Structure 1
Amino acid sequence: MNTPLRRLANVVLVMFVVLLGAVTWVQYLQASSLDSDPRNVRTLYREYGNARGPIVVAGKAVASSVKVDDAFGYQRTYSDGSLYSAVTGFYSVVNGRTQLEQAENDALTGRGDQLFFTRIRDLLTGRRPEGAAVETTILPAAQKAAYRGLGDQQGAVVAIEPSTGKILALVSTPGFDPNKLATHDLAKAGAAYTKLANTEGNPLRSNATQEIFPPGSTFKLVTTAAAVESGQYTPDTKIDSPRVLQLPQSSATLQNFGGESCGGDQVTLTQALVVSCNTAFANLGMDLGDDALRAQAEKFGFNTPLAIPMNVVKSVFPPDLDQPSTAQSAIGQRDVRATPMEMAMVSAAIANGGTLMKPYLVDTIRSADLSVVSKTQPSVFSTAVSSQTAAELTQMMVDVVQHGTGTAAQIPGVEVAGKTGTAQTADGKAPHAWFTAFAPASNPKVAVAVLVEHGGSLGSEATGGAVAAPIAKAVIEAVLGR
């Protein structure tokens, strides 16, 4: 009898060990992830039972919590919901949270580490916990100008203050009304999410930060920077610019927009940028090589993760390119992909004398008593180019707006530096229209990138100069108060 009892005791002991291990795993090791899981109903009830902090633009709450008479206690409401949807995202009982509602959830709920002493104070005084206010860097005039400019077209606008990295405008269209997702009517909230997820252009994903696109000729700024930084080229260096370029190791050819000449069999680097000469930049890219182009692109932020604090999809300059692929990549085609955020960063770095500041969207976090919990300090992301190269690129971009493809961005009394882009996409679809710029050229206050998908209202007839440049102009004017 002793042997069977010992075996049974051993089995029971093993079961207890397994049980204790499972409990420890769930209650301790998994506690944090389970607690933060948006599907955790207990977490939702706890969060909704306290007032969530507001998301603030220029002193006005664009996302706030109001008391309601239901099991949750508070409901999220959004003013100007579509205008700021790429900034705030949504906070939903059914569908979780996105954008700043997700990235700053700990602050908004009051659970962030920086709010530890506030929580202790509330516990000791019996004060009901409240979330912190998240104050953004958004400038309402710039945001509205970008949103109006895009209108019913799919696309995005990003505007950055070059000297600090402050994001002044962040717009993605189509936008959406977060209030429809924030409702406590679970059936309606679920139906609203499904409808938006199935809408053309997927409004729930920001075109400014969560999607990547071929940047087309706006990428020629990166190629130009690589050329000047190499020490082998100046703005006056002449480059071969045939009407049609035969790509090596291939039967394929590359030509300029509309099959046009760039002004001769050779043009200066400046003239190539001014008229956006494809064949010249393809030749230039092959001369520099893919490693030089990639290294320069990475100094501007390509192939590097970024959080603003929302995560931004990495822009891509691909590895291991052959000669034909390098030629196409040098003009922003092939497998080169960029977010509008990235192309705004390219202009911002040039505008700031070659120093790229890290973009950021949250300026200050304040506790419920309005005391400052944290304030973002500008920081350097990278040195993209030398100050001399930045100065030369600036003058070349000014020439683009004054005499070249970007004349639609001209502002009387303000010197604008810019670059157009018309990026080919899938066969049978109209090209994307791009424009990136900064102003005033001599003392930059804003750098902007505009993307209008598939040519917007002009479709296959669109160019970056015709469609995207006027939107950038309106945003610059808004920032400058004109």
Structure 2
Amino acid sequence: MNRSIKTLYLALAGGFILLFVMLGYWQVVAAGGLNERADNPYHFEKQRLVDRGRIISADKVVLAESVAYTQKRKKYFKRNYPQGALAAQVVGYATPQQGSTGLEAQYNQYLAGSYGTGAILDKLREPQKQGADIRLTLDTRVQRTAEALLEGSRGAVVVLNPQTGQVLALASSPSFDLNQVASDFASIRKQDGAPLVNRATQGRYPPGSTFKVVTATEALNSGKWTPNSTFNDTGKFVVFGQTIRNDGGVKFGVNTLTDALTFSINTTFAAIGTQLGAKALGNQMTKFGFGQPTSIDLPSNEVSVSGRYRDGKLLSNTQRDEDVARIAIGQENLQVTPLQMAMVAGAMANGGRMMKPYLVKRVITPDGVVVRQQQPEELASVSSAYVASEVGRMMQNVVREGTAAQAGLSGLSVAGKTGTAETGTQGLNDAWFIGYAPADNPKVAVAVVIEDSSGTGGQVAAPIAGEVIRTALSSGPVQGDPQP
């Protein structure tokens, strides 16, 4: 009997010890992580007491702010979005009911004023009552132009500074009014076109002929070809018993690598891809960032990985059972984001150096202290400066003489490449353009995609890119910051 009682006491004592250990872990060690989780409703209910910081664009436009209101004699704050639907998927929302997305989620710690606090007992800490402001690289003039040009379509526009990685515009269509999230979220979710999805970072599309920029880069990197190397196009290229043809069945005969990019000759690039092989082309894809998470300051679940997919599964870049000829022309399971293709264009514009894209330039506390500042960061070297320059010259030729003529601007040199990717529906394609300008001193790199278009990339996406480039270059750099 005494032994049974002793065993029971020991079991109870062990249970209490385990209980206190677990309580200590969750209250002390893990408290901070749980409190900052974007899907923690209690966290956001508590944040109604906090005057969240503002989200401000590079051209000093307030995109998000907190507005005070009184409930049962207590002061609370709610989010207000003065620009409504502008950059909605980027700014994101923060509500006690729906949680948070976009920059509201990614920078919640700063916006909610909980930066610098450790993971201690929640009851023993009081969050700072006013959050920090975040200052963006986004320029609303460029963003508005991009969104206006996308209106009525499903697609995306990305504009980067290729020298720094700063994101000037990240537009996705259709969009939604951020102010309606708190009151009418259900109807937003039901709208056609999935407006909550950020197509610029989450949308995955076959790149079509825009991918030929990657293939051309590896062709020159390999040393096997130059821009003037010649090929003989008979109008078809047979691989694995299947025939690759040029658009419209055109036969180009003898052509150079420059010609092949200018006129988007499928057969030449299929031959190059076959000779390069899966390993070499796959390694070049890896340098460009395919198959890896894209390093942009948005929640990871809002950024898709570009690469080869089969049955929804990401494949290795160097998987050998793939049809490398079709990969070389942007087909064969390739799915890419507009952001990734803007980074490809940006790397070519920046002498072969791919920069990390970012949206937030600095974080400033209510008393004016900069607690976080992003500096330009190189992600990878995809080619030598010489190769990037040669590919750039070929891309200029695409705009001057080839498929991207409608991206051209009077008095300004533009480098680019179009793409028209089949969607599986007869007569409908994903229309693409990637490029940069000015070609001799690049300031902006762009990517445009329009879903389910009846036109080609040159007809549909290139004109949009031209107008966005014009706006970006005419807006000029923004100096200084708004006062807190």
Q: What TM-score does the superposition give when structure 1 sets the normalisation length? A: 0.90
Residue 212 of structure 1: aligned partner: 204
Kindly indicate whether residue 471 of structure 2 is the aligned counterpart of residue 478 of structure 1: yes
Contact 2:260 2:268 in 1 (8 A): yes
SS of the equivalent of 1:471 reads helix
Does residue 64 of structure 1 match 2:65? yes
For residues 443 and 238 of structure 1, the distance between their equivalents in structure 2, rounded to whole angstroms, comes to: 29
Match 1:410 to one of 408, 411, 418: 408
Contact 1:45-1:72 within 8 A present in 2 as well: no
On the 8 A contact 1:239/1:284 being kept in 2, the answer is no
**Contact 1:47 1:109 survives alignment (8 Å):** yes
Pick one of 305, 325, 330 that aligns with 1:332.
Answer: 330
1:53-452 correspondence runs (5 A) = 53-57=53-57, 58-70=59-71, 73-113=76-116, 129-181=129-181, 183=182, 188=183, 192-247=184-239, 249-250=240-241, 252-261=242-251, 263-264=252-253, 266-310=254-298, 311=300, 312-317=303-308, 318-319=315-316, 320-322=318-320, 325-428=323-426, 430-452=428-450
Match for 1:135: what amino acid? Answer: R
Question: Aligned pair count?
Answer: 456
Residue by residue, what CA displacement relative to the aligned partner does 1:359-380 show, whole Å, maximum 9, x if unpaired?
1111111111223222211111
State the distance in 2 between where 1:403 and 1:327 align: 25
CA drift at 1:245: 1.9
User: Residues of 1 paired with 2:49 and 2:154: CA distance?
Assistant: 37
Structure 1, residues 405-439: CA drift from partner, whole Å, max 9, x if none? 00001101000000000011234471100001111
- Partner Cα separation in structure 2 for residue 127 and residue 231 of structure 1: 59
- C-alpha change, 1:347 and 1:368, in structure 2 (3 Å) is same
Q: Distance in 2 between matches of 1:255 and 1:229?
A: 26
CA drift at 1:306: 2.3
Q: Give the CA deviation at 1:232.
A: 0.6
Alpha-carbon distance, 1:144 to partner: 1.3
1:31 equivalent in alignment to 2:31: yes
Q: Which amino acid aligns with 2:51?
A: A
1:15 aligns to what?
Answer: 15
Residues 1:51 and 2:42 aligned together: no
TM-score for the superposition, normalised by structure 2 = 0.90
After superposition, the Cα gap between the structure-2 partners of 1:69 and 1:307, relative to the gap in structure 1 and judged at 3 Å, is farther
Amino acid at match of 1:371: V
Letter in 1 for 2:157: V
Per-residue deviation, residues 160-199 of structure 1 (Å, max 9, x unmatched): 1111111111101111111111x3xxxx3xxx33333333
User: For the residues of structure 2 that align with 1:128 and 1:40, how far apart are their CA atoms?
Assistant: 19
State the distance in 1 between where 2:358 and 2:281 align.
26
Instruction: Please give the secondary structure, in 2, of the residue aligned with 1:452.
Output: strand
User: Is the Cα–Cα contact under 8 Å of residues 173 and 207 in structure 1 kept in the other structure?
Assistant: yes
Aligned-residue identity in percent:
38
Q: For 2:89 and 2:27, how far apart are their aligned partners in 1?
A: 36
1:119 matched residue in structure 2: none
Q: Amino acid of the residue matched to residue 229 of structure 1?
A: N
RMSD, matched Cα? 2.1
Q: Residues of 1 paired with 2:445 and 2:145: CA distance?
A: 14
